[in-house]
Amino acid sequence: MTARTRKILVTGANGQLGAEIVRLKAEGLEIRGFRREELDVTNLEQARSVIADYSPNVVIHCAAYTAVDLAESEPDEAFRVNAAGTRNIALAARESGAKLCYISTDYVFDGTGSVPYHETDTTGPRTVYGKSKLAGEQAAAAFHDRFFIVRTSWVYGRYGSNFVKTMLKMADERDQLKVVHDQIGSPTYTLDLARFLLELVQTDYYGIYHASNTGICSWYEFAKAIFELSGKTVRLEPCTTADFPRPAPRPAYSVMDHSAIRIHGLTDLRPWREGLEHFLQGRVSD
């Protein structure tokens, strides 16, 4: 390994984003992912041991409790992973001299806005999941002095389960679908987010970032694009959030402004429809 090579450790390497990051090839970077069986973030001593042994320059903390509805009935578990687990990773990263990059979510906002949320806007999560992820942000900032907090939204990609894969599967099983049209946000392709993260963590521009593919749509419009670009024929009908009650309330508005990316001259993510097209073309060639 040359002196210029930077070592990056990724937690949650079997998740959607973690799996994407560890499979990226980047010149001058050595990226190693750790699955839950190898690094349980809720175990402080294990976190210290694993991170110290690998001695990374950067820790990208992707491991998280992401079951939004289940979290409403399992608040202790959500906070154990997302808050206490992040504290453990922040402590271990700082002690080993590594920068910390914590992946957060649009759910830290209340979702009642009408203009894109800025990084400095007041948070106000309405779900246990959102509250636990905000507590993770606070732990990252409290227990580390060189941190990036990256909030993202509507994530999909090659690995794991997600909305795009669900829509493609349902299109093969049904000829008619209803999708909510009153929740607005920005889809995020894990490949594009992973590339951005690798650019970001090689800088010293610490702080909070909003990163999603650019542009906005509703879940209905997102589904419509999925079917158009994949050539699937299905009758799609818009419906309201009230038609599909869930234990955890969904944000009506999740659009985030990318001012920190612009201010620091970093590469913003491409338009969401272009990212979706790239993903679907890749699936066709699999």
Catalytic residues: 129
Q: How far apart are CA 236 and CA 123, in angstroms?
A: 34
Supply 62's token pair.
Answer: 């992707």
Q: Are residues 63 and 81 in contact, defined by beta-carbon separation less than 8 angstroms?
A: yes
Give the containing element (helix H, strand E) for 102: strand 99-105
DSSP state of 273: H
Which residue, 177, 210, 194, 186, is CA-closest to 273?
186
Q: Are residues 218 and 182 in contact, defined by beta-carbon separation less than 8 angstroms?
A: yes
Residues in the chain: 286
Which residue, 149, 136, 144, 162, is CA-closest to 20?
162
The phi and psi torsions of 195 (rounded to 5 degrees) equal: -65, -40
DSSP state of 162: -
- CB burial string 238-250: b at 16+ within 10 A, e below: beebeeeeeebbb
